[in-house]
Structure 1
């Protein structure tokens, strides 16, 4: 029975498009977005000015980029909470471009980079930008951060930055020894507050850390310099926007080659940084997932507008985006409003902005640069054995330059990947004359000699369990293993092959001649029972199998699930309450192809739903239904029965229902709730085979439990309002087929294998794969 329901009302959607606004939702989102936009605005103003200073661009260029990034990228982008603007990761590139070509040609490069981003988004290749190794990206950003910090540290100390990071390091002792101007005090105050402010404890209800540290640091330094009337260089803004506009200029003919390289560099770095930032902040909210191609298109449009108006290149900024998500922003409105506030503030309060000392902005950039070297990235990359790529990229960016450093990092990342491709581990263990061999890694022709050598050392005639924990197997590897297996079995041995992840050997062996003496019956998948895997013996302790299963999970699955479970850890939004039997042969997530968080599962003997206020009462089942419907707001309830159900067999045989002394007395009393089923199933005479009787009874049981559900007030109210659908399912153990109850509750029909989940066109391709809905 399918009754189509309306949209769920209790939880934010996790699909691609925001759910329609409903009564009570608009004010909540509007309030959160408005508050978040003000917080992000307070962070954006000093950061935008500081990045403009570090880039060697006009100060107003940072303001223009902040305004355009907020409004244009917010309107046209594909992320709900990402905030775009001038990014520290582009600082070195822009500074070099300004020094080489001048500011107006740099604006022209920004416009062309935006056009490239628009083309990449139109051709739907956003995911290709994510193919760059994270170790290279993080190493590049860390190198940029170190370079910025070294350059701006000279400004904090009252001097001027040198031409390169190496020169900045060499000149630093001289700078420390001989420059002691008021600008030094301003810079030191700024850096000290940036470090100390996030660590100030809460004082009762007063939580100082809610005020952005950048605002406090720059505001305090400005106040100290103004009250003390210190002779320091301050921010200088143009008298009007018309005066500020410079606009792009065409390059000379001899500069075309360099311009092409610059456009590609800006487009690539801005795109990758924006997409990585968008995916990162997706973990901080439960709203719509980012559409990568649309986000790339929005970034391209923003860069075209920023370059045309004389602004800096734009990218998604992790500091502003995380601030937005933390402050309660949930829709692009917060990013758009933040851009409006920046424009209004600079237009109306330009004199206040011009009080800011340049040394305060330099101190802010020193702190930001150091923050770009993240210890968390070091730990993660070290765990994945990619720390060498990170460190080499960082060093090369600082010493040689951004483009050279990235190319070196990419080359090293490719070499590391090739080395991993050739790595294979072979472990052997002999127990009681039975050999257990585990092959792990990527099994290519390069690993064949190592595997063959180990296999040839196994004694003739031995029984062998060969576990292939491989993520790839080429034809050469298959032929070597298959040839060994054939030879081993011809000489009296026995080989069981178990493939844990992909059935590489099985697929190849289907095309090979059946020369093996015994069939490869050990081809178990991850869903197979223990007895079909891992050399399980009848006498092995079950606790050992549980621990072995947990070890296998940690080795093969936990790492890949960590990101998903991190998002689900603090919030559940199941799509259905799934009521089924406690029978160990029924695995709900397997037969519905669902994952963690999809099903709120209720299991009991016979998948029974006691009627509301039944006697005897059952608070456990009623509580689960009440919680799923009233608290979690599930839009669907499924009752799933199955063939060969022990509870239905007991009901047919007349389980004792009244004796407290009977061994199964409690089972009998529980089966009182199934009393009406015998009447519904029709006459079951001795002429009807036992299996057919159980089938009829199990299917009648599903229909009865759907009716029992409607006696629960919460279920009935939501069902009658069209907010909840009820579905009956039946799982045939012998055929492993799922059947669904038709609309009129007359019969169960098998779900045909060719019916697949509806595809959502190109929009699904925009979304990171771990966030796609089922």
Structure 2
């Protein structure tokens, strides 16, 4: 199947490259056998590719065919060195958008060239001349050749709608055979492919140039890099198409390099991995590298006795085939992706550069623009200042987010200068990178603003602090972007001494109010659309029963958000077995009966004061704080857990002890198992649990390691870590 696809394509690419026609078949044979046997991508098929036609045509025009073969050999040696040095994956660092645009530019160039051939003329030396000379070529068109070429284009376009059984025969082969047959049947006087002898006569030894060594070296590097990138990207694409072994990219470079050395040494075109043939290989059911090798052998078997048949093919037919191939290299999905991701400028500059300058300059322009855009996106900061909300005075709020570097200085200067003098300013720094230049500007402005009678409160809520710019070379930190996630305590970002420039009183409500200010500025706008959907109804998935301990944050542990957890908290995460606690009972009834939750979770934790108090039992009255009788009364519900614990002889306690957990933590785990068992037997839960509609799960949160363990109160009574594989 791949042989039938490769045959007309190899001839067409040789024609488009201005190379000897049979050089395309030589490259197909070597690419199939050598690259197929030695490469690191088992199902990738290699051969002459449309992506190098423009480069090869330019090299042939400058050096001739023999020197171009030497360039192919040297490019192959360079590929081998790249593969041995294990830099295969480094080639993938080139922006895919630049590669897509490069191929699209090559496609446009091929189409512009072959339109002239289709009309009975010859292609011009540049894209601009191909465009300007097109009207004159249309007037002098060879109508017979044009009809043959249009027939090929029509067959290729219509082939996608052919029945599946017929589509098993490759469209390019059908189009070329039908067009050649029509030309022969009607005895059309159209130009046909000219061969200079047989395949053996086409073998060519390479030759070195007599001068222009700089251009020679540039050609070697260009061919090596483009062939490598195209081959590696094709290998990655083939991996996505099948579930077999993954590609070894370094070995693939070595295999491609050896194939190019062999192809150039005997007069073949440069070789790359080709996505059209590779996808046909996978679709046809290939499983091993033998498929690629046999495709090359089939080309050899055909070419030795039957290469002369190629002289029956009209050049207009191959021109029509190449026009379709060129247009297919311009993919609408890539253009839409470029528009959606903001890379349309990179795509446009690259394709224009490839078409109107040359391939290397177009790629370099695209890469330069892609790098510049990346630097701009990564290194710029979002800076805005406005009067503070929810205040009765003239306070201002300045927010700096992202990466604050010297590139942001113009915007930073302008924003800081817009703040009126003599007022209080809250400067909120939520940055992941800051350099000395930005720090200097902020420090100078703060000193000047305070000298004018104003005050500045700096709130550093990002992963990087201002002083880091002075302690050493700036480093990017990938911590929590801000404090709206609900897992960072007030003490890590709130100034314990001042608020709005004044001494803070030691009143806990002030910390809450400060947190609310940050919530209104940063979190509320983010969650408002979601909360609007929950405003009038909610359907929680889980009843989450846990301790009142402030160190336990259910949404952080479960990576959940508003509306997901119906949470009940009490001292010791207890479920009274006597069902006399109306608060817990009401929560279970509402969760199971009204919300129809699918799971109930009981989550205990390490260093639990409730379990510690339960272990100690009633103390001396004088040592108990006021109101302690209420705690002792509530902890009577921990009695079943204490009985099951039985001084550490419970299987879960034994397992926890072997893992290094102390007695209090062991009791906490046993208590979780007891609460799960109580819930399973609860009248409101039992029936749904037995039917499999309601799961009851026990968790233990180890505060020191931030690890969650699964407590399984089964016959085995075991503990297990919860991680990606477990989930």
Among candidates 279, 293, 309, match of residue 250 of structure 2: 293
Partner of 2:503: none
Question: How many angstroms apart in 2 are the aligned matches of 1:407 and 1:673?
Answer: 59
Larger radius of gyration: 2
Among candidates 450, 455, 458, match of residue 495 of structure 1: 458
Report how far residue 113 of structure 1 moved.
0.2
Please state whether the residue corresponding to 1:495 is helix, strand or coil.
strand
Structure 1 unmatched runs, 5+: 1-37, 513-520, 552-579, 592-602, 607-643, 706-727, 752-756, 758-774
Q: For the Cα contact (< 8 Å) 2:431–2:464, is it kept in 1?
A: no
Q: For the Cα contact (< 8 Å) 2:383–2:400, is it kept in 1?
A: yes
Change (3 A) 1:355 1:697: farther
Structure 2 unmatched runs, 5+: 474-478, 494-513, 532-543, 547-551, 594-598, 604-638, 654-660, 676-697
Matches for 1:455-604 after TM superposition, within 5 Å: 455=416, 457-458=418-419, 462=424, 464=426, 466-468=428-430, 472-481=433-442, 493-499=456-462, 503=464, 505=466, 507-508=468-469, 524=482, 528-529=486-487, 536=516, 544=524, 547=527, 585=554
Give a deviation string over 1:608-646, Cα, whole Å, max 9, x none.
xxxxxxxxxxxxxxxxxxxxxxxxxxxxxxxxxxxx997
Partner of 2:357: 400
Partner of 1:555: none
Question: How many angstroms apart in 2 are the aligned matches of 1:78 and 1:678?
Answer: 62
Partner of 1:242: 200
Question: How many angstroms apart in 1 are the aligned matches of 2:601 and 2:57?
Answer: 80
Question: How many angstroms apart in 2 are the aligned matches of 1:605 and 1:419?
Answer: 44
Among candidates 254, 262, 283, match of residue 305 of structure 1: 262
Q: What is the aligned residue count?
A: 599
Report how far residue 464 of structure 1 moved.
2.9
Give a deviation string over 1:27-66, Cα, whole Å, max 9, x none.
xxxxxxxxxxx2x333221111100111111222111212
Among candidates 118, 128, 131, match of residue 80 of structure 2: 118
Partner of 1:265: 222
Give a deviation string over 1:251-291, Cα, whole Å, max 9, x none.
33x24333212111111221222223333444434444443
Change (3 A) 1:550 1:196: farther
Partner of 1:654: 577
Change (3 A) 1:212 1:474: farther
Among candidates 39, 49, 66, match of residue 11 of structure 2: 49
Q: For the Cα contact (< 8 Å) 2:199–2:307, is it kept in 1?
A: no
Matches for 1:744-755 after TM superposition, within 5 Å: none
Question: How many angstroms apart in 2 are the aligned matches of 1:104 and 1:352?
Answer: 25
Partner of 2:70: 108
Report how far residue 304 of structure 1 moved.
1.1
Partner of 1:344: 301
Question: How many angstroms apart in 2 are the aligned matches of 1:115 and 1:446?
Answer: 42
Matches for 1:269-280 after TM superposition, within 5 Å: 269-280=226-237
Among candidates 183, 187, 191, match of residue 225 of structure 1: 183
Give a deviation string over 1:590-619, Cα, whole Å, max 9, x none.
89xxxxxxxxxxx9999xxxxxxxxxxxxx
Report how far residue 408 of structure 1 moved.
4.2
Report how far residue 111 of structure 1 moved.
0.7
Among candidates 41, 64, 75, match of residue 26 of structure 2: 64
Please state whether the residue corresponding to 2:574 is helix, strand or coil.
helix
Report how far residue 187 of structure 1 moved.
0.7
Once the two structures are overlaid, the 10-residue window that deviates more, 530-539 or 220-229, is 530-539
Report how far residue 474 of structure 1 moved.
1.7
Change (3 A) 1:505 1:191: farther
Give a deviation string over 1:712-763, Cα, whole Å, max 9, x none.
xxxxxxxxxxxxxxxx99641355256799xxx9998999xxxxx9xxxxxx
Q: For the Cα contact (< 8 Å) 1:218–1:356, is it kept in 2?
A: yes
Change (3 A) 1:475 1:528: farther
Matches for 1:155-166 after TM superposition, within 5 Å: 155-166=117-128
Question: How many angstroms apart in 2 are the aligned matches of 1:604 and 1:327?
Answer: 50
Question: How many angstroms apart in 2 are the aligned matches of 1:541 and 1:424?
Answer: 18
Q: For the Cα contact (< 8 Å) 2:601–2:699, is it kept in 1?
A: no
Question: How many angstroms apart in 1 are the aligned matches of 2:122 and 2:65?
Answer: 20
Partner of 1:318: 275
Q: Does residue 178 of structure 1 match 2:140?
A: yes
Question: How many angstroms apart in 2 are the aligned matches of 1:482 and 1:75?
Answer: 64
Q: For the Cα contact (< 8 Å) 1:657–1:668, is it kept in 2?
A: no
Question: How many angstroms apart in 2 are the aligned matches of 1:106 and 1:195?
Answer: 34
Once the two structures are overlaid, the 10-residue window that deviates more, 730-739 or 140-149, is 730-739
Question: How many angstroms apart in 1 are the aligned matches of 2:42 and 2:569?
Answer: 48
Question: How many angstroms apart in 2 are the aligned matches of 1:180 and 1:523?
Answer: 66
Question: How many angstroms apart in 2 are the aligned matches of 1:655 and 1:171?
Answer: 95
Change (3 A) 1:224 1:729: farther
Question: How many angstroms apart in 2 are the aligned matches of 1:647 and 1:287?
Answer: 54
Please state whether the residue corresponding to 2:383 is helix, strand or coil.
strand
Change (3 A) 1:528 1:222: farther
Report how far residue 498 of structure 1 moved.
2.2
Give a deviation string over 1:423-458, Cα, whole Å, max 9, x none.
543233431137554435542223224224424544
Change (3 A) 1:508 1:673: closer
Give a deviation string over 1:493-525, Cα, whole Å, max 9, x none.
5332222xx53647447789xxxxxxxx99747
Give a deviation string over 1:300-324, Cα, whole Å, max 9, x none.
1221121123211011223223444
Once the two structures are overlaid, the 10-residue window that deviates more, 188-197 or 133-142, is 133-142
Question: How many angstroms apart in 1 are the aligned matches of 2:317 and 2:707?
Answer: 69
Please state whether the residue corresponding to 1:428 is helix, strand or coil.
strand
Please state whether the residue corresponding to 2:44 is helix, strand or coil.
coil
Highest RCO, 1 vs 2 (Cα 8 Å, sep ≥ 6): 1
Q: For the Cα contact (< 8 Å) 2:545–2:573, is it kept in 1?
A: no
Report how far residue 70 of structure 1 moved.
2.6
Report how far residue 86 of structure 1 moved.
0.9
Partner of 1:663: 586
Please state whether the residue corresponding to 2:336 is helix, strand or coil.
helix
Report how far residue 492 of structure 1 moved.
5.2
Q: Does residue 454 of structure 1 match 2:415?
A: yes
- State the TM-score, normalizing by the size of structure 1: 0.64
Report how far residue 68 of structure 1 moved.
2.1
Matches for 1:305-384 after TM superposition, within 5 Å: 305-329=262-286, 331-347=288-304, 349-350=306-307, 352-384=309-341
Please state whether the residue corresponding to 1:243 is helix, strand or coil.
coil
Question: How many angstroms apart in 2 are the aligned matches of 1:98 and 1:233?
Answer: 22
Q: For the Cα contact (< 8 Å) 2:47–2:272, is it kept in 1?
A: yes
Change (3 A) 1:694 1:227: farther
Q: For the Cα contact (< 8 Å) 1:530–1:536, is it kept in 2?
A: no
Among candidates 24, 35, 41, match of residue 73 of structure 1: 35
Q: For the Cα contact (< 8 Å) 2:66–2:204, is it kept in 1?
A: yes
Q: For the Cα contact (< 8 Å) 2:44–2:278, is it kept in 1?
A: yes
Please state whether the residue corresponding to 2:205 is helix, strand or coil.
coil
Question: How many angstroms apart in 2 are the aligned matches of 1:672 and 1:432?
Answer: 39
Partner of 1:732: 702
Question: How many angstroms apart in 1 are the aligned matches of 2:383 and 2:188?
Answer: 71
Report how far residue 112 of structure 1 moved.
0.4
Question: How many angstroms apart in 2 are the aligned matches of 1:655 and 1:332?
Answer: 70
Please state whether the residue corresponding to 1:494 is helix, strand or coil.
strand
Question: How many angstroms apart in 2 are the aligned matches of 1:393 and 1:248?
Answer: 32
Among candidates 7, 30, 44, match of residue 82 of structure 1: 44
